[in-house]
Every structure is written in structure tokens, then in C-alpha cells.
Chain A
Amino acid sequence: MPLLEIRNLSVEFPTARGVFRAVDGLEMTLDAGEILGVVGESGSGKSVTMLAVMGLIPYPGRVRADVMRFDGTDLLGLSPRQRRSLVGKDIAMVFQEPMTSLNPCYTVGWQIGESLRAHNAVPKSAVRDRVIELFRQVGIPAPETRLRAFPHQLSGGMNQRVMIAMAISCNPRLLIADEPTTALDVTIQKQILDLLISLQRERGMALALITHDMGVVAETAHRVQVMYAGQMVEEQRTDALFAAPRHPYTAALLDALPERAVGHARLPTIPGTVPGIDDRPAGCLFNPRCRFTTERCVAEPPPLAGPAGARARCHYPLDAPVAVTA
């Protein structure tokens, strides 16, 4: 049984111009101890999907799914109180902007301790020691003094370590990292990524790594899901995906990687942007930007097809499906 199983998830927001479907018919499975890379441009619905898993979709957003199970528990069937006892404990999340994701009014030590106290993770008297231990694990030097620092007194990288310490404080089985390195300096990005991977290995937790950086995915993820305009357009094992992408969008993303574009005078790009609320096309959502668009693509939305674990949402997948050997 997978740790996280989502089938036909949709997240909708009513707006003045009608209902906006930010996530549409999304499927996702994640096994214990697995690293899943979720890739896509801004606005593709990556973060919204993860917020839905966390139960953090703000009112008046609506979340629906045929199946949304965590470790066999139906997440949508839980009462708010039951959901809260799961969130922050078994499922935890690290956000994109460490500088604004911590409350400026409280010390970082207090904010991590709050998580521990909320879920009774350790006895009250042991909270401080546990926070110090967590600080050591995420590589914050001089934890005894940093404990009393306010977020504005720490750097972005340090604050992201604090966020990670907070997320792993109650030993989650699933850690969701939503573009954890996007807001950081390039030199710090690698450190934070390495930290996440080493924590994932030590603790055997599942990690959902949301990113728009294909390079990050190549280095870390076991499996990749590519998202476009609220839909999953392709899923594959990482090595297979990089060797033989099946959806034209994935192929275009890979072509845009500088290390793959050797020999081009200019770095290839994908023209246009992800369609928003007003300009969702009929048929395949990617058809206005696709090099291979036919009349069928404009007329008829493609289903998610192909062998399990290597599906793509395209009428004309690029390669014959890679042989999935047992």
C-alpha cells in the first residue's frame, strides 16, 4: 500500500469570472521512503496540490478527490481536529520563502517547540533539549544561543534550516518541500538540498520535492511527475524520464536545460506561458505551445495513457514506452 495515494483530485476556487480549477484530475502515489520530484512551471498547480494534502487550501477553495489516502486513512473523511493531529506530525511541509514563513514576533526556538508541544511529541521538560538536538541535526551552529534568535536575526539559509527542523520535529513519515531552495542564494541551495536528502535517508521518510528545476530533480528524485496547468502530464522513473521523455512538454523542459543545450547558439525556450483562468484552450491544454499540435490535439483532451508508472497525457507520446520490466 502506498503511503500517499491520490486519485482524481481537483481543487477549485470560485472567482468573479467563474470557477477556476487550479488542479484537475490529478493522480499521485508516493511510497514510504521514496523521493518524488514534482516539476512544472509557476502556476501549474504543484503547490496547490500539496496544500490540499496538508488541508491548507484557504476558504473558499474546494477540494474533491475520488481517493485521498495517507497510510490508509481517508484524509477528506477526517474531522478538522483529526486532520490537525496528522498535519505537522505525520505529514509536514517546508515552504518556499523562509524569511516570511516564520513568525517575526517569536524566537525560532519557541516556534519549533510549539510544534513539539502541539503534538505532545516529547514531555514538556524535554522540549528545549529536543529543539537543540533538532538544530544540530539541521546543521545550525551554536544551537543554545540560536534558540533565542528571532527570524530577522538569521539569514535566509539559516531560517530554512529552522523551517526544516520544525518540519521534522515530530518525525513525519511524509515531508513535502515546496521549492525549498528557490528563495536562497545559489551557494546555499545545494547545502539545503543535501540536508533534505540526508535527512530523508536517515529517517526513511517519503519526500515530495516540488521544484521547477530539472537539475535538482535529476540529482535527487527517484521518480518524477510533470505538471502542466493543473494536470499531471507525465510520470516516469527519473532515469527513464531523462533518457526518454514521452510528453512534448517534458521534452521541451529538458531541452531548456543549459547542460543539454550544448551546441545551440541560444538556449531553447518554450514560447508562451501556462494558461490561466481566462485562456485555457480546448483539447490538450499544452496545444498552443506544442511543436507537434494536430487538429486532434485542439479538438479532444488526451487521457492519461501508457503503462503504469510511465503514463503521459498526450495523443502522440514521443517515444515508444520504455520497457517496464518486472
Chain B
Amino acid sequence: MLRYLLRRIGMIVPTFVAVTFLSFMLIRLVPGDPIEVRAGEHGVPPERLAEFRHQFGLDQPLWKQFLDYEAQLLHGDFGTSIVTQDSVLHAFFQLFPATIELSVCAILFAVLVGMPLGVIAAVKRGSGFDYGLMGISVTGASMPIPWWGLMMILIFSVALGWTPVSGRISDAYFIDPVTGFMLIDCWWSDDAGACTSAASHLILPTIVLGTIPLAVVARMTRSAMLEVLSEDYIRTARAKGLGGLRVVVIHALRNALIPVVTVIGLQVGSLLSGAILTETIFSWPGVGHWLIESIQRRDYPVLQGGTLLIATLVMLVNLGVDMTYGFLNPRIRR
């Protein structure tokens, strides 16, 4: 197990280099640089601009800039924002809990709703419920997040007035950010009103961000269950005289979990990119929002550092998923 873990961690290194290279090059392909964006249309003299460029090392050849950046990373320095002069790592960890909170809620929503739906569709295959659900799930999986988010706001916030439009909590409350997770902080502060407010702010973003994973999880659960339900050991379980629910949950679902957990792990990657859109629509103060701003400001260090940190997270989640296989399926255990 330890060898396996070390090998997997070893494989992370080349991925790291590739991610830094891509984010480094891609942002530099976009016209304009941070100095130009900052200067705007004020008549800043070219000598002053050149001075700034020199200050941030932007006057160096690209290969040198890249190697300097890699060297900096090896020292554990993720850089400093050109705009705010704040450390990238510090800003990331301040904003990250908001993104985590939203993502965890969305994935929980997707799994807790999508998995039972997929199981029911598989058990009742060929029924109206099955066809209906699979139709809806195709729609859900191909849902454009910006449109979907705006529709949800229009219906539930504007027309019905059930949920707040944006933000993490109502302005009426000030909650001390102990953990950075709003729900936990509110619960900590023992303020029932704040808890309700935070929870109601979470509902729409959770649904919008969770829609695609939900559709994918439901489809995957259904097809995995269909395969497992035709296995010999399911017939054995029935031959023991076990009840239908026990056969489906204990004997079938446990075996169907591996492909389902795999897609959940893969969804975490797209979840984070979906979070960027969702956070923008709902003015959710997380890393997604922050990254979008950094693109607009050509804040190279923020964009590069943020992308790298998110990529790290995705890699860790996938590693975690691979580790759960052994737990789920004794045949993979080493």
C-alpha cells in the first residue's frame, strides 16, 4: 500500500510541471499584461511602465520567467498578487473555505439525490419512472450553468421570493470567520437566525452546481446497478429468502459503488470549474470568483498559483478515490 501511495505521489510531479507550464503560457497568450491593465487609459509614460515591468520581472525572456517561477515554487513561494500585493497562498486559503463549503454541499446533494434515483431506475428498469429520469438526466448533464443559475434566480428568488439572490449570508449578520465555513461558524456563534440565513443562501448555488454531477451520478448508478443486478450472487441472495431492499442495498449497491465513486471523483474536477461560474453568478466569495477577477486583471501570479492549488486538490481527490477502491472491493486490496 505504501509503495503504491509513493508511486502515485511520484506521478503527481510531472502533472505539476505540466499544469504550471500551461497556466503560465496560456495567460501570457492573452493580449495585455498586468501593468497595462493597471495603467488603464491614464497617460502613464512608457519609461514608468518599463520600470514596473522590470520590478515584476516581466521584461525577462519567457523561458527565464518560467524557470524563475518554478524555482520560486520549489521554495514553497506561490508568489504575490501584482494587484493587491497579498500573498497568493494567503488569499487562497481565505477564500477557499467558501468554495469548499459550496462544493461539498453540491456533491452531497448530487450523491444523496442522484444515487437513490439511479437505484430506483435500475430496479424499475423499463418503467415510466426509468425513462422519465433518464430523459431528465440527459438534460441535466448538458445544462449550461450560467443559464440554469439565472433561471433558478428568476424563479425562486425573483418570482417566488423564497431564496436570497446572492452572497453567503444576509448583511444583517456579522459572523466571526473562525473556520471560514459559514455554516459551521454560524452554528458556533449559536445564532439561529444566522444559521437559517446562511443555509438559505446555500440552497440555490448548491442546486445549480450540483445539477450536472447529480445527472451523471444517477446515470452511472443506474447502469452499474443494472449490471450488478444480473449477477449470479444476486440470485444467491434472493435464494436465501432475503427481502428486496436488503438484496438491492447490501448485495447490489455495494458492488455497484466502484464505478459510481469513480465518476464522483472525476466530477470533483468539473465541479471546481463549475464553481467558478456558479460563484460568479451568485457573487459567492470563493476562489472561483477570485480567479475570474485575476484573469480580468491579468494578475499572473494569482492565476498561476490558484490554478496550481486547485489542480493539486483535484489530484488529491482522485488519489483518495483510488484509495477507497480497496475498501469497497476486497479483490483490489493489496
Contacts and interface: CB of A to CB of B under 8 A. Distances in A.
A56 B255 contact: no
B246 to A, nearest CB: 8
Contacts of B254: 103, 105
B312 to A, nearest CB: 32
Contacts of B255: 103-105
B236 interface: yes
B331 A100 contact: no
A51 B237 CA distance: 13
B239 A102 contact: no
- Interface size class on chain B is 10 to 19
Interface string A121-141: 000000000000000000000
B238 interface: yes
Interface stretch (B37-45, B210-218, B227-235, B298-306): B227-235
Contacts of A119: 241
Contact of A101 (B232, B241, B242): B232
Given A104-B330, A104-B331, A105-B329, A85 B241 contact: yes
B233 A104 contact: yes
B61 interface: no
B331 A150 contact: yes
Contacts of B331: 104, 150, 152
A105 B330 CA distance: 6
A70 interface: no
Contact of B235 (A101, A105, A114, A166): A101
B240 interface: yes
B239 A87 contact: yes
B233 A100 contact: yes
Nearest to A85: B241
Nearest to A98: B232
A88 B235 CA distance: 12
Given A150-B331, A152-B330, A152-B331, A103 B251 contact: yes
Contact of B236 (A86, A102, A152): A102
Contacts of B235: 56, 95, 101
Contacts of A163: 236
A101 B236 contact: yes
Contacts of B329: 104-105
Interface centre among B233, B254, B329 (most CB of A within 10 A): B233
Contacts of B237: 103
A118 B246 CA distance: 10
A84 interface: yes
Interface string A161-180: 00100100000000000000
A285 to B, nearest CB: 28
B243 interface: yes
A12 interface: no
A129 to B, nearest CB: 20
Given A150-B331, A152-B330, A88 B232 contact: no
Interface string B224-267: 00000001110111111111000000010011000000000000
B258 to A, nearest CB: 10
Given A100-B232, A101-B232, A101-B233, A93 B239 contact: yes
A101 B239 CA distance: 11
A111 to B, nearest CB: 8
A260 to B, nearest CB: 34
Interface string B72-85: 00000000000000
Interface in A53-70: 54, 56
A54 B239 contact: yes
20 contacts: A54-B239, A56-B238, A56-B239, A84-B242, A85-B241, A87-B241, A88-B239, A93-B239, A95-B232, A97-B232, A100-B231, A101-B235, A101-B236, A103-B237, A103-B255, A104-B331, A105-B255, A114-B240, A114-B242, A115-B241
